[in-house]
Homo-oligomer: A and B are copies of this chain.
Amino acid sequence: MTIGEVSKLVGLPTKTIRFYEKIKLLKPANRSQNNYRTYNQDDLNILFLIKEARALGLDTNEVKNIVNLCLNSGCEHINDYLAKHIPIYKNTIDDQIQRLTGLKSKLSNLEQDINNKSINCKNDCDECNILCRTSKTC
């Protein structure tokens, strides 16, 4: 299979497949006479695995661990690995969600301030919103 065929089958841009090879997430592809990359079913399976793992939000280093486990051990080790690591992934996600939720409520507060306070504030900065208060131009 050429990289374009693989791209369609797996649903990843050719660019991305080459990129994965470059960062050693994939081993260097075999080459045909004309120097085109060629892929077989095993390569395809690895790419599906990578895509699935990325879709779970795992970063490329995590994916690399899992691919190696998959290639060098068996899936019972993947299960062990995931059982240990999924809680960590989830904590990371929780942190991000919390951060975003905090941002959102900050924005809501600011929105309310803007609605409640005087819109014309020439030199009456205590009536301004927090962003404006920090600026002397206000």
A47 to chain B: closest residue by CB = B134
Q: What is the bound-complex CA distance between A114 and B94, given in angstroms?
A: 21
Q: Does A66 contact B (CB under 8 A)?
A: yes
A66–chain B nearest beta-carbon distance, Å: 7
Q: What is the bound-complex CA distance between A138 and B119, given in angstroms?
A: 65
Q: Which 3 A-B pairs have the closest CB atoms?
A: A75-B132, A48-B134, A57-B103
Copies in the complex: 2
Partner-B contacts on A (CB < 8 A): 41-42, 45-46, 48-49, 52-53, 55-57, 66, 70-71, 74-76, 78-80, 82-83, 86-87, 89-90, 93-94, 96-97, 100-101, 103-104, 106-108, 110-111, 114-115, 119-122, 125, 128-132, 134-138
